[in-house]
Amino acid sequence: MINLELLQQLKTRDKLLAYLKDRAEEEPLYQKVLRNYEYEQELLRLQGELVDLQRHIQTSGKKVAILFEGRDASGKGGTIRRFAEHLNPRAMRIVALNKPTEIERQQWYFNRYIKELPNASEIVFFDRSWYNRAVVEPVMGFCDEDQYERFMVQVPAFEHMLYEAGTKIIKFWFSVSKEEQQRRFDKRLSKPLKKWKFSPVDQKGQELWDDFTFYKNAMFARTHMPFSPWVIVKSNDKKKARLESMKYVLSQFNYEGKGDNQDLIWPDPNIVHSYFRLVKQLDQ
């Protein structure tokens, strides 16, 4: 039964929030509502900072490539959407390439990605990148051993050339546990509007979990470089992963008005940290 008298008393946002906070300990649903509200508020503030950052990139002529890697259902796509939601579409792009054509298979592997690199004054978000060849392709049998090894030898030089040409590369690995990945797969299959996200390759990811881990660790060990380090994002909590990865990107630049929208823009090291050896990752 709706309490109309109570609704009359809670006409303003502040009154509603005060009411929820007073009763949050007694009612778990109120706690969830408050957490979602706080998340949305922080998200908006960080998106405001991203707008300021984009303006700086446009006026300074910088080139920024942000790579989102990780296992399937680790939260990459949803995070990219939040990054790009309020940005000027004329100065940013989202790149999510399909499988290579027959012509592209005959080209140098990096060709199809070179065409997508940022121009001056532009941010490009890669929803998976050239690092497909480091993990997904060898695990799924989409490349042979020679192609894999050639890539692993060439990619440090490739990224160093980009760095010397003035391209800022940020490489995220979204780390999700096996149990959380399966839960997200099940959730996708239960929703008619999300079934398209699930494919046979996704299920193979569960079956070949240890193979993915082996190639992921090899990728970190061989391609974590001072000019393009790997940044690990713990993404079992997707909302925290979105906020903290935004903070990491913002922390990498100095721009006019930094901190005007969001006072604290340093990422939580418990959620986001640079890769370092001999530390067990969440998704191993």
Inside any domain, residue 270 = yes
In this predicted structure, what is the pLDDT of residue 195? 65
Rounded (5°) CA angle 178-35-19: 150
Kindly state the DSSP code that residue 119 receives in the 8-state scheme: P
Inside any domain, residue 206 = yes
Inside any domain, residue 283 = no
Rounded to two decimals, what is the model's pTM? 0.89
C-beta neighbour count of 40 within 10 angstroms: 11
Inside any domain, residue 42 = yes
Asked if residue 87 lies in contact with residue 50, where contact means CB atoms within 8 angstroms, the answer is: yes
Asked if residue 267 lies in contact with residue 251, where contact means CB atoms within 8 angstroms, the answer is: yes
- Find all residues with CB under 8 Å of 8, minimum gap 6, and list them: none
Inside any domain, residue 279 = no
Q: What is the pLDDT along the chain (284 residues), one digit of tens a residue?
A: 446 555 566 566 666 666 566 665 666 666 677 888 899 999 999 999 999 999 999 999 999 999 999 999 999 999 999 999 999 999 999 999 999 999 999 999 999 999 999 999 999 999 999 999 999 999 999 999 999 999 999 999 999 999 999 999 999 999 999 999 999 988 888 777 676 666 777 778 889 999 999 999 999 999 999 999 999 999 999 999 999 999 999 999 999 999 999 888 999 999 999 998 655 667 86
Measured between alpha carbons, how far is residue 114 from residues 54, 65, 135, 169, 264 in Å?
22, 11, 20, 13, 35
Inside any domain, residue 99 = yes
In this predicted structure, what is the pLDDT of residue 3? 60
Query: Can you give the CATH number for the domain in which 101 is found?
Result: 3.40.50.300
Q: 191: domain range? A: 4-274
Inside any domain, residue 127 = yes
In this predicted structure, what is the pLDDT of residue 21? 62
- Find all residues with CB under 8 Å of 48, minimum gap 6, and list them: 86, 260, 261, 262
Inside any domain, residue 40 = yes
Terminal-to-terminal C-alpha distance of the chain: 48
What is the domain count for the chain? 1
Structure tokens at 182: 């399966």
